[in-house]
Structures are given as structure tokens and as C-alpha cells.
Amino acid sequence: MTTATIDASPAFFSSPQDVVDRLGEVGYLASPATATAVYLASVLGKPLLAEGPAGVGKTELAKAVAKVAGAELVRLQCYEGLDEARALYEWNYRKQLLRIQAAPDGQEWDATHDDIFTDEFLLTRPLLTAIRREDPTVLLIDEADKTDVEVEGLLLEVLSDFQVTIPELGTVKAARRPFVLLTSNATRELSEALKRRCLYLHLDYPSTEREKEIVRSQVPGVEDALAEQVVRVVATLRDLDVKKAPSIAETIDWARTLLALGRTDLDEATISETLGVVLKHATDHERARRELSLPDAAE
């Protein structure tokens, strides 16, 4: 089952400026550092590790790259307890059992074995799916820091040689290297071995000016003054050391909420009434009301 490796990068972009321009067309405003990292990952065929707090656009970056490149997005959502069967592949044991039971009487085991360990019985998971695709592909390994250390060993083979060894079938080599983006919220330090195989990009919350640009691009009809108020209040909330800081997506949701309510000004009463759009814990609400001297929403 070995396929010939084509040692070619996806070459989705021609320059960092091309990254900025094309991602901007789908509403993702890339900084120079982000554009350069994405461009290099494309032309060098190297995985890109994007690390930073939750909600700064790491996952959206992969979606935007796939969209502008006309590539299929294959996503591996990482979580504690993720294993090889869920990340790479597993055999359809029920179907294999049915085939064994249907085998002619007297058939040798070797013949039965060769019959049940074929593509027909293989259930491919995200990593193997991305490797086997011949069309342009973006592989998103989302929240890699949530996996167990053992899963990193699996990723090392995949990201080093873009190949997977299946004992029953042999080695599957990528016909076309996918564009690989790993994201991490830095809740756990990833291994040095994994980091060595990747380019690195740190994404943090944007400046108020950049976030205002994002809001204006994602929320048609929002006035400049209201967008300015929203991003400045969100920045203040992030500085309060809340349990869950508002993400960029929640900033956008807040602007949309205010438009839906017909509000043109983010005064204290409006903040209090709509605080649940950006803060998702009761303790965070209490802290915000105390620090910002907000009225109780029930008043």
C-alpha cells in the first residue's frame, strides 16, 4: 500500500503580501508576522505551530487558508484521552467478523487474513485522511496541548516524513504534502521534538486598533465610534484577570448584539445588560460589575 512521495510544498501563496491580501478577502486580517509564517509554511512544506490564548484566531487562520487556497480542511480536534484509533485509523471489526463468518468452509487463514485487511475494512481518521488525499489539503491539529504525551509520538512520524505505517498494509506516504497548522493554548508545554518539526507563530490578542478593523470587517453596518467603544471595553475586561477572557469572536458577537438591539452607544446600562455575550462565568460578571461600577442588570 506504499505510494510514491511527491516532495512538493502546497505553495498556496506567492509572498507574505499575497497572504495578507488573499486572507483579507475572506475577512481574516493577518499581521505581517502571521503572513510571513503562513507563507514560509507554504513554500517550505513545514508544519506551523500557532500558540497563544484561546480565541485569538488560531483555528480561524486554518479555515481562512483552506478557503482562499480552495483546499479541503481536515480537522483533528485534540482532547485528553485521544488515541491512535481516533486520530489515525482503526479497523471495522464488525465488518471483518461478518466477512470471516461468510468465508467458505476450508479456506486457509492466510487467505481470510488478506481478504479482511484491505481498504474496504479501513476506517480512516483525520491524520490518515489528510495524508492520503491527493488534492490540496489543510490539516488542522487543533488544541494539540490537550492531548496526552503519547499522542505526540504519533504526530512525530506524521509530521517528520508525512507517512503512516499500518502493520497489516505497509507504509502510506503522502502523495501531496498537506498544509499543516497545529494550534496550542499553551496549557501544556509541547515536546521539543515536536516543536523542532514546526515553524512557530505566537498569536496574542490584537491591539485595539487592529481589533476594531476586524470588527468593522466582520460586522457590516457598525459605526466606527461603536466599534471603538466595544473593543476598548473588551480590552478592559481582559485586563481584569477574568476566568475566561473575551475572545475576538465574542467581541464580534457583542458588536452584532448591539446592532440587533439598535444600540448606538455602549453605556454602562447597555454593558450590564449584554455582559453575558462576552463573559461566561458568574465570578467574571461580579468582578466586571465591581471594577467597572456597573449597575445590576435586574435593576
Read off the pLDDT of residues 113-171 as tens digits, 9 standing for 90 and up: 667 787 888 888 999 999 999 999 999 999 999 988 888 888 887 888 888 888 888 88
Q: What is the pTM of this model?
A: 0.84
Burial, 134: exposed, middle or buried (Cβ in 10 Å; 0-12, 13-18, 19+)? Answer: exposed
5: pLDDT strictly greater than 80: no
Which 8-state DSSP code applies to residue 119?
G
Q: Helices 208-218 and 248-260: crossing angle, nearest 10°?
A: 50
Centroid of chain to Cα 16: 21
User: What is the percent of the chain where pLDDT is above 70?
Assistant: 93
110: pLDDT strictly greater than 60: yes
| Alpha-carbon gap, residue 284 to 155, rounded angstroms | 37
Are 92 and 123 within 8 A, CB to CB? yes
Domain ranges for the chain: 16-88+125-202, 208-289
> Residue 3's pLDDT band (boundaries 50, 70, 90)?
very low
| Alpha-carbon gap, residue 149 to 78, rounded angstroms | 12
| Alpha-carbon gap, residue 166 to 132, rounded angstroms | 13
pLDDT 10s digits, 185-208: 988 899 999 999 999 999 999 999
pLDDT in the model for residue 250: 95
| Alpha-carbon gap, residue 263 to 201, rounded angstroms | 37
> What is the β-pairing status of strands 122-124 and 89-91?
antiparallel
299: pLDDT strictly greater than 80: no
pLDDT 10s digits, 208-231: 999 999 999 999 999 999 999 999
Burial, 260: exposed, middle or buried (Cβ in 10 Å; 0-12, 13-18, 19+)? Answer: exposed
7: pLDDT strictly greater than 70: no
- CATH 3.40.640.10 corresponds to the domain 16-88+125-202: no
> What is the β-pairing status of strands 199-202 and 163-166?
unpaired
pLDDT in the model for residue 103: 73
- DSSP codes, 266-279: --HHHHHHHGGGT-
Please name every residue paired with 163 in a beta bridge, in sequence order, or none if there are none.
173
Which 8-state DSSP code applies to residue 277?
G
Neighbours of 55 (CB within 10 A): 19
